[in-house]
């Protein structure tokens, strides 16, 4: 009678060992980004979407461009379009997130409350599809990124990893070359506003062939750029 009981105990022990190993592995996966982020002060990262496209043989076009080599209109346009409080919040704009949640069914639908820093967290370490789990992981990671990296560096990373074209163009340099045929350093405010207007879906919003709707959105961004120039103060050289 003792043998079956002993077998059950051994089986329970193995289950606990597997469960413990799985818990440790999960903890490592969750905590690894927090250990990696400080290195991005000096290392130019790629996004998970870029990696996936490389792995699946799809086109990826990206030329890393320092913020100092971009037209000043570009970071301003993106801040106005995506995150007007970028220079003042600490990774998460809780006021905007609260407003977005009142208009969304749940946390996973609240894109309107997603800051540039949250998008950096998502693009570098998480997946693209919306989900409650992704948002829960994204929020504390965005706060950590804001704590560890300077605002200029966060914005520089975003402008170099954001998907900004319909055929694997990542970053403002590749997007500028494709849409306007010249480097991002030479873009004027209307072109920067048009590029920013392609977010969040450059696969359907094409800056190279803008329709009336896209031009209207770009016009709104352009007017705001004139009245909100101080929103990009943290992007300027110190």
**216 and 133 both lie in a single domain:** yes
164 and 197, same structural domain? yes
Give the domain range for residue 80.
Answer: 44-235
Closest CA relative to residue 163, chosen from 115, 113, 117, 128 = 128
The predicted-structure confidence for 190-211, as pLDDT tens digits, reads as follows 999 999 999 989 999 999 999 9
**157 and 219 assigned to the same domain:** yes
Q: Which of 11-25, 136-150, 179-193, 213-227 has the lowest mean pLDDT?
A: 11-25
Asked if residues 221 and 81 have their Cβ atoms less than 8 Å apart, the reply is: yes
**Which residues, at least 6 apart from 136, have a Cβ–Cβ distance to it below 8 Å?**
107
Indicate the pTM of the whole model: 0.87
pLDDT at 14 over 80: no
Q: Are residues 24 and 94 in the same domain?
A: no
Domain count along the chain = 2
Tens of pLDDT, residues 124-162: 999 888 888 899 999 999 999 999 999 999 999 999 999
Q: Is there a single domain that holds both residue 142 and residue 117?
A: yes
List the one residue out of 105, 231, 123 whose CA is nearest residue 171.
Answer: 123
Which alpha helices (DSSP H) does 109-188 contain, by range?
Answer: 116-125, 132-148, 151-161, 171-180
In percent, how much of the chain has pLDDT > 90?
71
**Within this chain, do residues 115 and 210 fall inside the same structural domain, yes or no?**
yes
199 lies in the same domain as 174: yes
Exposed e or buried b for every residue in 47-59, given b needs 16+ CB within 10 A?
Answer: bbbbeebeeeeee
Q: Which two tokens stand for residue 237?
A: 């050289």
Q: Phi first, then psi: what are they for 142, rounded to 5°?
A: -65, -40
Q: Could you tell me if 39 and 145 lie in one domain?
A: no
φ and ψ at 110, to 5 degrees? Answer: -85, 60
Q: Determine if the peptide bond prior to 132 is cis (ω within 30°).
A: no
């Amino acid at each position: 009678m003792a043998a079956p009981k002993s077998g059950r105990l051994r089986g329970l022990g193995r289950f606990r060992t597997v469960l413990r190993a799985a818990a440790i592995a999960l903890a490592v996966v969750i905590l690894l980004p927090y250990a990696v982020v400080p290195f991005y002060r000096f290392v130019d990262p790629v996004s998970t979407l870029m990696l996936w496209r490389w792995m699946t043989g799809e086109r990826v076009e990206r030329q890393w461009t320092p913020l100092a080599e971009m037209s000043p209109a570009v970071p301003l346009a993106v801040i106005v379009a995506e995150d007007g409080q970028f220079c003042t919040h600490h990774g998460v704009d809780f006021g905007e997130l609260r407003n977005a949640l009142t208009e969304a069914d749940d946390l996973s639908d609240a894109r309107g409350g997603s800051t540039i820093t949250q998008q950096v967290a998502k693009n570098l370490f998480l997946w693209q599809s919306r989900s409650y789990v992704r948002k829960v992981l994204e929020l504390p990671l965005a706060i950590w990124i804001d704590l560890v990296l300077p605002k200029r560096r966060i914005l520089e990373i975003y402008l170099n990893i954001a998907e900004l074209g319909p055929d694997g163009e990542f970053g403002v340099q590749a997007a500028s070359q494709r849409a306007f045929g010249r480097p991002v350093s030479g873009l004027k405010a209307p072109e920067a506003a048009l590029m920013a207007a392609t977010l969040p879906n450059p696969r359907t919003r094409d800056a190279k062939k803008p329709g009336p709707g896209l031009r209207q959105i770009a016009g709104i961004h352009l007017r705001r750029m004139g009245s909100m120039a101080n929103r990009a103060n943290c992007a300027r050289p110190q």
